Amino acid sequence: MYHRVEPVALTCIGLLVIAYSQWKLHKLSPNIEYTYILLWMIVRNVGLAFSSAPVTNAGMEVISKKLVGHASSINNWTRQIVSLLAIGLFTTIYASRQVIHLDRIDHVEGSSEDYLAYAMSAAMNDVFLLSTLIVVIAIPLSLGLRNTNRNRERWNKTSS
């Protein structure tokens, strides 16, 4: 599919799917159905598949064949580091937002388990909302991708 469709289109479609599914996941509550979460996580992962492969391919196509091995290892290393940093960042935001939500609901009647469940879901909603914002910001950045094979073919035709 990558060679038939521009990487910009695939990436933008993937990012839009991710953003929409993240938006749907930011509306969680303690009594939400498991199938709702599962459905939107599946949709989000489909968006990840559509967006990550074209970005990786576009990046690797501009590297000379001699350096592809090094570029691949740097790409994997960078992906792992960014993933770990994102987990740490979102976990920290989740924990701090949970404390904020617990402080805000101390006047509501109910058991302490109800307080905690509400605070946990509200904090998770905050994290999903932030991640939606990050994905939306990435959409205009993805417009900078181009299909290097097509550009290379055009260049070869004009130079011969």
- Other CB atoms within 10 Å distance of the CB of residue 18: 26
What is the secondary structure of 19-44 as a DSSP string?
HHHHHHHTT--TT--HHHHHHHHHHH
- The DSSP call for residue 65 is G
Residues 22, 3: Cα–Cα separation, whole Å: 28
Candidates 33, 18, 1; CA nearest to 142 is 18
pLDDT at 114: 79
Candidates 134, 124, 96, 151; CA nearest to 40 is 124
pLDDT digits (tens, 9 = 90+) for 99-133: 999 888 766 566 777 788 889 999 999 999 999 99
Residues 148, 8: Cα–Cα separation, whole Å: 11
Q: What φ, ψ does residue 23 adopt, rounded to 5°?
A: -60, -45
Report whether 139 contacts 16 (CB < 8 A): yes
pLDDT digits (tens, 9 = 90+) for 12-34: 999 999 999 999 999 888 889 99
**Position 153 pLDDT exceeds 70:** no
Specify the residue for token string 């009594």. 31
